[in-house]
């Protein structure tokens, strides 16, 4: 079957007009399309022909699709219909208007703990519906979770989902016996393993066997990322990542996000256990804990990530009426730094003061600097002494620290980068 190009007037299956390509994965391409029968926008996923060479692959995919069509959840993108021929399989899916969680985090957004907990609860609720339909997602990751503008989460991409009964193991046939090599084989050969290495759990990488706890492990990584803004494991290449997963070597979320609650810290740590028996045994348990935490957490606004995550909230807590004074006090020492830099710069720059000698300029600047530094030292001392007794002084002191730290961060900003691996070569493309 040949497919029309996006923008063409030729319709797919005499019904769907392809508008533009919006994604591409290991199983095929995804297009935004118009259903000309009803005028609605849909997503069209065209399965790659090379994925259907063997009859067992076709049977497996059609079985997945049948099970996925039974999923009913507000948090899961709906499978609308199936177009099947001897040459291809085309999925018609609900078109979700929103950005992936990865897009939000990679742009520097830091969700509040309550926001992240709410998103995690919605993801768990969607996974519960998926599991109840007899499906294991197996490719849950930030890129496959969309956040709409109204705050609703949608789980996407069932192209890699495998029905729980259709387990295929290849490690025993490969003749490879070391754990890293078995894991690399599973992570880089799509016929043996579907999913992204960063989110695959250790026991699947070793045995090829999976159940609901595979998705629970991936959910734990997603929760870690949306709460802290970081991937839990540190590594240089695929083998180091696999070994870190086996050893369970990661810092608890609370070490990177001080307002992460003990209950969330414990839940995420449990989800990321190497031994699947130590993880929550079903998504319902995860959803219940997240729902309980969501009710207890205070409301906080979304921020941009910084080295010290609690500094950025000080500004919102200071009364607006005090801002002119606060800005003057904060900007004064910053201006002083620029002043001193110019005053003690090379002679050529100092000579730019027309009609004034270099010595006179330096002397005048030093005197002024001493006066300003003395005044600022006195003011800061008062703030330091009184901040524990006056809430406004406390918040102002935080904001003063925040402004200084922003200057230090201008040349070295943290960037959120989720590592990915080239599935064909087994090479890391992005890393922390």
pLDDT of residue 89: 80
Among 13-22, 44-53, 203-212, the minimum mean pLDDT is found in 44-53
Q: Look at 64 and 254; give whichever has higher pLDDT.
A: 254
What gap in Å lies between CA 82 and CA 25, rounded to an integer?
A: 18
Q: Over 60: is that where the pLDDT of 56 sits?
A: yes
**Antiparallel, parallel or unpaired: β 135-136 and 89-94:** unpaired
What count of residues does the chain have?
A: 432
Summarize pLDDT for 250-262 with one digit per residue, the tens: 999 999 999 999 9
Structure tokens at 329: 């006090």
What gap in Å lies between CA 245 and CA 227, rounded to an integer?
A: 20
Mean pLDDT, range 93-118, rounded to an integer: 92
Among 159-163, 293-297, 373-377, the minimum mean pLDDT is found in 159-163
Q: Would you place residue 187 in the very low, low, confident or very high pLDDT band (cuts 50, 70, 90)?
A: very low
What H or E segment, with its residue span, contains residue 402? helix 391-409
Structure tokens at 349: 């720059």
Summarize pLDDT for 310-361 with one digit per residue, the tens: 322 222 333 333 444 545 555 565 566 555 555 544 433 333 333 434 444 4
pLDDT of residue 385: 55
Structural domains of the chain, ranges and CATH numbers in brackets: 16-94 (3.30.200.20), 99-305+426-430 (1.10.510.10), 311-409 (no CATH)
What gap in Å lies between CA 47 and CA 60, rounded to an integer?
A: 13
- Give φ, ψ of 226 to 5 degrees: -75, -20
> For the whole prediction, is pTM greater than 0.85?
no
Tell me if 44 sits within 8 A of 16, measured CB to CB: yes
Tell me if 123 sits within 8 A of 75, measured CB to CB: yes
Q: What is the DSSP letter of 301?
A: -
pLDDT of residue 314: 29
Mean pLDDT, range 3-10, rounded to an integer: 81
- Mean residue pLDDT across the chain: 71
Q: Would you place residue 179 in the very low, low, confident or very high pLDDT band (cuts 50, 70, 90)?
A: very low
Structure tokens at 227: 């709460």
Tell me if 228 sits within 8 A of 254, measured CB to CB: no
Surface-to-core class of residue 213, CB atoms within 10 Å of its CB (0-12 exposed, 13-18 middle, 19+ buried): buried
């Amino acid at each position: 079957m040949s497919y029309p190009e996006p923008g063409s007037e030729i319709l797919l299956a005499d019904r769907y007009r392809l508008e533009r390509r919006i994604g591409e994965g290991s199983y095929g391409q995804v297009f935004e399309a118009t259903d000309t029968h009803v005028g609605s926008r849909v997503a069209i996923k065209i399965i790659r022909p090379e994925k259907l060479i063997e009859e067992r692959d076709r049977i497996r995919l059609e079985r997945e699709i049948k099970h996925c069509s039974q999923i009913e959840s507000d948090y899961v993108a709906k499978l609308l219909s199936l177009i099947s021929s001897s040459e291809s399989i085309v999925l018609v899916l609900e078109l979700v208007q929103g950005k992936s969680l990865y897009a939000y985090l990679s742009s520097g957004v830091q969700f509040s703990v309550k926001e992240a907990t709410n998103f995690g609860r919605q993801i768990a609720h969607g996974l519960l519906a998926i599991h109840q339909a007899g499906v294991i997602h197996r490719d849950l990751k930030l890129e496959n979770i969309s956040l709409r503008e109204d705050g609703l989460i949608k789980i996407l991409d069932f192209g890699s989902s495998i029905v729980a009964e259709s387990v295929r193991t290849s490690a025993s046939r490969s003749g490879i016996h070391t754990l890293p090599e078995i894991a690399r084989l599973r992570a880089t050969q799509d016929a043996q393993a579907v999913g992204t290495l960063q989110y695959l759990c250790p026991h699947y990488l070793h045995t090829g066997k999976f159940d609901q706890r595979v998705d629970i492990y991936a959910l734990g990584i997603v929760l870690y990322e949306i709460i802290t803004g970081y991937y839990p494991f540190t590594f240089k290449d695929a083998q180091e990542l696999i070994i870190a997963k086996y050893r369970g070597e990661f810092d608890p979320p609370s070490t990177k996000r001080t307002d992460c609650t003990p209950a969330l810290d414990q839940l995420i740590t449990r989800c990321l256990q190497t031994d699947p028996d130590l993880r929550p045994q079903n998504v319902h348990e995860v959803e219940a804990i997240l729902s309980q935490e969501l009710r207890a957490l205070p409301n906080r606004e979304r921020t941009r990530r910084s080295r010290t995550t609690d500094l950025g909230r000080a500004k919102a807590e200071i009364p607006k009426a005090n801002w002119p004074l606060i800005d003057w006090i904060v900007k004064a020492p910053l201006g002083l730094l620029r002043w001193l830099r110019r005053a003690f710069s090379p002679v050529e720059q100092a000579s730019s003061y027309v009609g004034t000698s270099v010595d006179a300029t330096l002397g005048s600047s030093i005197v002024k600097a001493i006066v300003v530094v003395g005044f600022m030292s006195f003011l800061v001392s008062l703030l330091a002494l009184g901040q524990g007794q006056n809430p406004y002084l406390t918040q102002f002191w935080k904001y003063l620290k925040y402004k200084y730290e922003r200057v230090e961060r201008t040349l070295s900003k943290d960037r959120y980068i989720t590592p990915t691996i080239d599935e064909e070569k087994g090479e890391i493309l992005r890393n922390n």
